[in-house]
Amino acid sequence: MTLGTQAQTVTVRVPGKINLGLSVGPLREDGYHELSTVYHAVSLYDTVTVQPSDSWSVHASGPWGEEVPTDERNLALVAARTLAKRRARKAKVHPVRIDIDKHIPVAGGMAGGSADAAATLVGCRELWGLDHLENDLLEMIAASLGSDIPFLLHGGTAIGSGRGEHVTSVLARGELHWVLWAGEGLTLSTPEVYAECDRLREAAGETPAAPQPGGALMTALRRMDTDEVAAALHNDLQEAAISLQPVLAEALAAGLDLGARAGLVSGSGPTVAFLVGSQTEAIDLSVGLAANGPTGDIVRAVGPAPGAQIIHQRTSPEPTRARPDTDRPGPLGPVIG
Ligand code: ATP
């Protein structure tokens, strides 16, 4: 035995996502819709800290902290407990206290709950010393917990298929600048938006085809030309989200009037993402929206952002068996703190 170190607290930073393209296919027998989406992680982050505790608990702070459920419904808690159950026999797994610093709008279509779940999986893997848990297995557990979670482990820009859980990276160079608008007190339930989309399609006599990733969007992303990307942005859920929350049409119109290259509802909404050409345009648009748009939180962000990453950990000495470095699979992201 040699003296090693054991993590005592692990802090993980995780981005929110927007969908650059979202094609919704027919309803499947399992109740989900077949999707083809282009996920894009943006630099609006939650920070999740896990530490050993006598009991399981979750606490939330930050601009959206009050909206986060801190009981058994919290996806971060569900993720920690699921990982503990699956790996309990292989390592020293113990209850954790989870602290979420919440900046991603809650029920905003930016997958904030899924982001916290992804961060918790990465944090608990480190805290519990589950070095043997390969990324593939972590992704499988992630997919069983929620459609967006595998993407939030990866980050970047990626195509999601199935119900969104099958993720393939998109090669895209360069950055896109965004202004995000989240209406004050505005939330939308994802199942209700899908139901509204089905209702609107039925009323119009439309039968959805099998969803495909947009070729024009892929080409635009390869070139990373802002105006080409702007022209190719697409969300099949936008009409349904606007039908349930008409203020979204007002927000979209205000952003476009103020010079955004494009605007679209993020996922199931109600967050609206405006694409602009530079940081200067982003500042101008944020100022304009704050003065002339509907009331809401306005945040500037860039994408693509990296997925869940450990940014800080505190360790304490503990007698542990020495192992060669080669036994350790690489972390999902580099330790940058
Ligand atoms: P979806 O991923 O379903 O599209 P969303 O991105 O619109 O959802 P989330 O912020 O993930 O929105 O919240 C969806 C629901 O999940 C909310 O009703 C919220 O109460 C619940 N929830 C559970 N855990 C969390 C969490 N850690 N952070 C935010 N919301 C959570």
What's residue 32's pLDDT? Answer: 85
| Residue 50, Ramachandran bin (φ over 0: left; ψ between -120 and 50: alpha; else beta) | beta
Q: Which atom of ligand 1 is nearest to the CA of 187?
A: 7
- pTM for this model (two decimals): 0.89
Ligand 1: residue whose CA is nearest its atom 14: 107
The answer, yes or no, to whether any atom of ligand 1 lies below 6 A from the CB of 69, is yes
Report yes or no: 276 and 287 within 8 Å, Cβ to Cβ. Answer: no
Per-residue confidence at 215, pLDDT binned at 50, 70, 90?
Answer: confident
Question: What percent of the chain clears pLDDT 90, i.e. is strictly above it?
Answer: 68
What's residue 90's pLDDT? Answer: 57
Q: Which atom of ligand 1 is nearest to the CA of 106?
A: 10
Of 13-17, 187-191, 225-229, 256-260, the one with minimum mean pLDDT is 187-191
More confident residue, 329 or 18: 18
pLDDT in tens, 49-108: 999 999 999 999 999 999 999 999 999 999 999 999 887 555 678 899 999 999 999 988
Of 38-47, 124-133, 136-145, 312-321, the one with minimum mean pLDDT is 312-321
pLDDT in tens, 177-207: 999 999 888 888 989 999 999 999 999 888 8
pLDDT at 3 over 70: no
What's residue 134's pLDDT? Answer: 73
Q: Which atom of ligand 1 is nearest to the CA of 102?
A: 28
Q: In what order do the strands lie in the sheet with 262-265?
A: 262-265, 272-276, 176-183, 296-303
Average pLDDT, the chain: 88
More confident residue, 216 or 48: 48
| Mean pLDDT along residues 12-36 | 91
What's residue 182's pLDDT? Answer: 93
The answer, yes or no, to whether any atom of ligand 1 lies below 6 A from the CB of 112, is yes
Could you give the domains of the chain? 5-171 (3.30.230.10), 176-303 (3.30.70.890)
Ligand 1: residue whose CA is nearest its atom 1: 111
What's residue 135's pLDDT? Answer: 77
| Mean pLDDT along residues 105-114 | 93
Q: How far is the CA of 106 from the centre of ligand 1 (A)?
A: 6
Q: Phi first, then psi: give them for residue 152, nearest 5 degrees.
A: -75, -15
The answer, yes or no, to whether any atom of ligand 1 lies below 6 A from the CB of 74, is yes
The answer, yes or no, to whether any atom of ligand 1 lies below 6 A from the CB of 108, is yes
Report yes or no: 20 and 38 within 8 Å, Cβ to Cβ. Answer: yes
pLDDT at 251 over 50: yes
| Mean pLDDT along residues 116-126 | 96
More confident residue, 292 or 336: 292
The answer, yes or no, to whether any atom of ligand 1 lies below 6 A from the CB of 106, is yes
What torsion, rounded to 10 degrees, do the Cα atoms 218, 221, 222, 225 define? 130
pLDDT in tens, 279-302: 999 999 999 999 998 999 999 999
State whether the Cα torsion 208-170-240-107 is positive or negative.
positive
The answer, yes or no, to whether any atom of ligand 1 lies below 6 A from the CB of 191, is no
Q: How far is the CA of 251 from the centre of ligand 1 (A)?
A: 22
pLDDT in tens, 142-176: 999 999 999 999 999 999 988 888 899 998 889 99
The answer, yes or no, to whether any atom of ligand 1 lies below 6 A from the CB of 236, is no
Q: How far is the CA of 280 from the centre of ligand 1 (A)?
A: 32
Active-site amino acid positions: 17, 148
Q: How far is the CA of 236 from the centre of ligand 1 (A)?
A: 20
Q: What is the DSSP string of 278-333?
A: SHHHHHHHHHHHHHHS-SEEEEEEEE--B-SEEEEEEEEEEEE----GGGSPPPSS
